[in-house]
């Protein structure tokens, strides 16, 4: 898996790239939390759930169905003022879906583990992308704060943080320098 720091950063960077709307701390906590949430499946190890099982690590909680279900639940529960089915409502669902689904995408770019069950529960095949530049993060917190954890953070900075930061900065620049038709017309 990628580290929780990188999952949270990716969700914030993607959201900031796609939306210029001002948001409160609650929104940003939910976006970052949604991106980290799929790794809650590691609790299953303590209950005897095997890594490769449906509910195992990188299984159902890393699927696109989970991302869609979670995004709908969050928006229905936390954003009740947004009219269901409105453009604002669907925009929120889309942002939370992307934040949650980004978790599996990043994990499929790592060089370890069993892959990601994107289509679970319908297809439990685990997938990696052909290019896997990110060093897999240790699941143990103790092992994360070691030389191995440092190499993970370096690979994440090169292959996730830096590219997303460039895209985010470019989107801000474009928004600031491209005339808004609704303001100029």
Q: List, for residues 58-111, the tens digit of each pLDDT value.
A: 999 999 999 999 999 999 999 999 999 999 999 999 999 999 999 999 999 999
Given this model, what pLDDT does residue 181 score? 62
Given this model, what pLDDT does residue 146 score? 65
Residues 6+ apart with CB under 8 A from 73: none
Mean pLDDT of the chain: 92
Q: List, for residues 21-42, the tens digit of each pLDDT value.
A: 999 999 999 999 999 999 999 9
Q: Cα separation of 100 and 66, whole Å?
A: 8
Contact 58, 1 (CB under 8 A): yes
Contact 24, 112 (CB under 8 A): no
């Amino acid at each position: 898996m990628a580290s929780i720091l990188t999952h949270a950063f990716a969700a914030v960077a993607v959201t900031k790239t796609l939306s210029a709307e001002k948001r409160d701390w609650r929104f940003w906590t939910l976006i970052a939390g949604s991106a980290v949430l799929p790794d809650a499946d590691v609790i299953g190890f303590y209950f005897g759930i095997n890594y490769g099982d449906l509910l195992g690590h990188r299984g159902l909680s890393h699927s696109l169905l989970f991302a869609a279900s979670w995004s709908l639940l969050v928006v229905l529960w936390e954003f009740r003022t947004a009219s269901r089915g409105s453009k604002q409502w669907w925009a929120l669902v889309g942002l939370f879906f992307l934040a949650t689904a980004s978790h599996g995408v990043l994990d499929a770019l790592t060089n370890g583990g069993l892959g990601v069950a994107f289509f679970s529960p319908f297809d439990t095949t685990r997938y990696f992308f052909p290019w896997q530049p990110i060093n897999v993060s240790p699941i143990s917190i103790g092992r994360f704060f070691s030389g191995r954890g440092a190499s993970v953070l370096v690979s994440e900075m090169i292959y996730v943080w830096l590219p997303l930061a460039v895209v985010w900065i470019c989107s801000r620049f474009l928004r600031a320098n491209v005339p808004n038709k609704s303001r100029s017309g």
